[in-house]
Amino acid sequence: MQALWRLGIVALATGVLATPAAGDERTYKNLPSEIPAHFAPTNAGFDFERRTLDIPMRDGVKLHTVILVPKGAKHAGMLLTRTPYGADGMGHRGDSPHLGPTLRGYDNPADIVVQDGYIRVIQDIRGKHGSEGDFVMNRPPVGHGNPTPIDESSDIYDTIDWLVKHVPESNGKVGIIGISYDGFEAMIATIRPHPALKVAVPINPMIDGWMGDDWFHRGAFRQQMIPYIYGMVNSRGSDIGWTSGYRDDYDLYLRGGSAGDIGRAYGMEALGFWRKILQHPAYDTFWSEQALDRIAAKEPMIVPTMLVHSLWDQEDNYGDMAVYRALAPRDPAHEKLWLVLGPWRHAKTWEKGNTIGAIDLGSDTGTTFRQEMLRPFLAQYLKDGAPKADIAPVNAFVTGENVWRKLDTWPSTSRGGGAPVMHRWYVQPDGGLGEAVPSSGADEYVSDPAKPVPYRVRPIQPWSHGVPDQTDSWPEWLVDDQRQFATRTDVLTYVSPVLDAPMGVSGEPLVHLLASTSGTDSDWVVKLIDVYPDDVEEKPSMGGYQLPVAMEIFRGRYREGYDKPMALTPDKPLDFRFPLPTVNHVFQPGHRVMVQIQSSWFPLYDRNPQTFVPNIFNAKPADYRKATQRIVRDGAGGTYLELPVTP
């Protein structure tokens, strides 16, 4: 038997058994495939119907669209989201026959869709995933740096026109909602809108990528967004991932050189949007012409819009407030514009929101927003016969006090009240901070590009807008304890006496920096911080916590104008003025107010070489030099923060 087995092996190896005899009728016949050419699942037991189709645009390009229709739907409103992140993934969870679990995840208000029976529509934008056409990052509106007749507004118009004609279960009313890039789509939908578009909800939208959203902040490049750009633009399906081999992004970007060098190492010159970034480091017409707040300010206000802002948004903390500032004066009767300010990170709105980082918010802020604000707002415009929503024009969560406030305008001291009063808080000798005008003097530190100040405790995780868990805390870094940085010799710290009464701050704090550098260019980072008492009885782990309330960076070369980069005069005190992000916070009795000042925030932002070069993306190793930085006290004209204080 063993010999026969060995013989069979030899026969197989030599092909003796594999070769049929001449004339054998069994020669080369295959068994029929068990996979059908087309298979349509019955979806037995599902409480919704999933339709996938390609909707034609006016130029013939077809956009891949997923439509989820609740079983038995009649005269239902439609809720649209347009995305570059994959409509199939956002509208398909194969482990459940129920619509709610199917929609759970990024950018899906699952509870509201199910509760109010909306038809959910999710579409791949032009050039991404299943959609035809060419992808352009944040494609500008026609006439604003876009010479073609096609833009996102025209694609949204054509999509809505098709939906109201071909979805028989609908009532012909469409709303659009989205976060981040999808929020950009929701905002741009309000420009030249289709008549069936009844409501828009841009959440944390990308509005001005240079001034303060994803790509730059006041001229400083957000280099940890390089992997995002790489993944978005390298393929239609975003299926070529970024790999670095580094455990700590601090090492990756420090050893990589300039941001331009890092891009070159990864072959990013082949990516169209990256080339635009390299060519437009200043706020020239390329950026200003496509800033949506500027564009919206010149367009008719037609679509009722709810802007949703996250007070600790680590990605897009500029744009929605810029839109509000542009549009609110045009809507004194509060008929077209609403604002929500929540205590969240980017894209936190679909979660419970009881906490952010180590901070206890005291309630389920996410559910409160969805059920008490968003749900009635959408229903008013999308559901037949729904009552008018009883929602204040501004709904603002007060951090530090952990309450929601209903206001008529923003910023405001109360409903029907006036604006907060600006108070100057001066840097004082010996690291003090207060409202008294200080004597003249200066504090200094050495800023070394070879040892930049990290923006969070190392090892620093890569960029991510995923849901944070035990291994991914990046999305909530804006509430990180700042104590580790106060100990560095290249960070100046100023702190007030202990407060004996609560102090509310609502609006944009303004930085007035009188400073000099021994170099010819410099970055300035200013942080407004709430310092907890050393003894916090209800939560001892919060003792001494330094909670960032608002932080921002400013690239010194733009002090004469964001479109006019200019070298700084070495060792000459100059004025640098810029706003911090929007705050709505109460400093409680027993707490102290702190300001930290530094000249790098790495690796989130690229290093300033501190030697003026025409384009920092092309800075060479020899350009990166140490500089002595001086923060000047000069009486009332020295360095101070203006805080918008409420009674």
In the predicted structure, residue 191 carries a pLDDT above the cut 80: yes
**Alpha-carbon gap, residue 604 to 589, rounded angstroms:** 33
pLDDT the model gives residue 22 = 56
In the predicted structure, residue 563 carries a pLDDT above the cut 50: yes
pLDDT the model gives residue 26 = 57
Sign of the alpha-carbon dihedral angle for 12, 13, 15, 18: positive
Least confident of 90-104, 312-326, 509-523, 582-596: 90-104
Band (pLDDT 50/70/90 cuts) for residue 416 is: confident
* The residue type at 171: N
Secondary structure (3-state) at 561: coil
pLDDT the model gives residue 41 = 79
pLDDT the model gives residue 470 = 41
In the predicted structure, residue 224 carries a pLDDT above the cut 80: yes
Look at 107 and 364; give whichever has higher pLDDT.
Answer: 364
- pTM value is 0.93
In the predicted structure, residue 282 carries a pLDDT above the cut 60: yes
**Alpha-carbon gap, residue 573 to 634, rounded angstroms:** 10
pLDDT the model gives residue 25 = 56
**Alpha-carbon gap, residue 176 to 155, rounded angstroms:** 13
What number is the average pLDDT over the span 354-377?
97
SS3 for 326-391, per residue? HHHHHCCCCCCEEEEEECCCCCCCCCCCCEECCEECCCCHHHHHHHHHHHHHHHHHHCCCCCCCCC
Please name each of the domains of the chain with its CATH number. Answer: 48-208+291-407 (3.40.50.1820), 216-287 (1.10.3020.10), 421-646 (2.60.120.260)
Between the two ends of the chain, the Cα-to-Cα distance in Å is 98
In the predicted structure, residue 275 carries a pLDDT above the cut 90: yes
Band (pLDDT 50/70/90 cuts) for residue 468 is: very low
pLDDT the model gives residue 487 = 92
Band (pLDDT 50/70/90 cuts) for residue 182 is: very high
pLDDT the model gives residue 34 = 94
How confident is the model over 286-337, as pLDDT tens digits?
A: 999 999 999 999 999 999 999 999 999 999 999 999 999 999 999 999 999 9
Band (pLDDT 50/70/90 cuts) for residue 3 is: very low
What number is the average pLDDT over the span 565-574?
98
In the predicted structure, residue 196 carries a pLDDT above the cut 90: yes
Measured at the CA of 637, the angle between CA 635 and CA 642, to 5 degrees, comes to: 105
Q: Report yes or no: 135 and 92 within 8 Å, Cβ to Cβ.
A: no
pLDDT the model gives residue 5 = 41
Residue found under tokens 């997923």? 66
Structure token pair of residue 56? 């034609």
Count of other CB atoms within 10 angstroms of residue 452: 24
In the predicted structure, residue 4 carries a pLDDT above the cut 50: no
How confident is the model over 230-250, as pLDDT tens digits?
A: 999 999 999 999 999 999 999
In the predicted structure, residue 93 carries a pLDDT above the cut 80: no
What number is the average pLDDT over the span 31-52?
90
> What burial class does residue 483 get, using C-beta atoms within 10 Å of its C-beta: 0-12 exposed, 13-18 middle, 19+ buried?
middle
